[in-house]
Amino acid sequence: MSIVSLSVNEELLRRFDEALKEKGYSTRSEGFRDSIRKFVDESAWNMEGENIAVVTVLCGKNAPKHELLRMQHEYDEIQTMMHMHLDETNCLEIYVVKGESSRIKQMIQDIRKIKTVKHTEFMSSACDV
């Protein structure tokens, strides 16, 4: 097994350690391997055919929303959207999307490029399931 070294700021490492403990990981390496697997799986996501997906977006409450709004109008694949105030600084947006896999993946990549977006996650399924 290869050894990889990386730099992480203290706050992120503290939060990572808390998450590891909460999820029952015995080592940081297990958590990093699991995170890398998820990243690789997401990158290899099926690019053919029609899919449905639920996309969650964590963004700053007071941040300008024009980029997210533009994106919402650009992608007809968005079937439903929900906006929720989490606390005094954060909002959660949830999109239910249906369409060609390549368009959905492009939409997710576009969301991740928006500076006011803090975190994006998605769950997908082929439409014929």
pLDDT digits (tens, 9 = 90+) for 82-123: 999 999 989 999 999 999 888 998 999 898 888 888 888 888
Whether residue 17 is found in the same domain as residue 55: no
How many domains does the chain fold into? 2
**pLDDT at residue 129, rounded to an integer:** 46
Q: Mean pLDDT across the stretch 9-30?
A: 91
Residues of the domain holding 23: 10-43
55 and 111 housed in the same domain: yes
Question: What per-residue confidence (pLDDT) applies to 85?
Answer: 94
Q: Which residue has the higher pLDDT, 116 or 79?
A: 79
Query: How remote is the C-alpha of 29 from its chain's centroid?
Result: 22
Amino acid at 58: L
**Average pLDDT for residues 37-66, to the nearest whole number?**
79
Q: How far is Cα 116 from Cα 86, in angstroms, rounded to an integer?
A: 15
Query: Token pair for residue 31?
Result: 């958590």
What is the average pLDDT score of the chain?
86
Please indicate, yes or no, if residue 5 is contained in any of the structural domains: no
Q: What is the pTM of this model?
A: 0.67
31 and 84: one domain? no
d(CA 34, CA 92): 25
Q: Which distant-in-sequence residues (6+ apart) come within 8 Å of 51 by Cβ?
A: 98, 99, 100, 101, 104, 124, 125, 126, 127
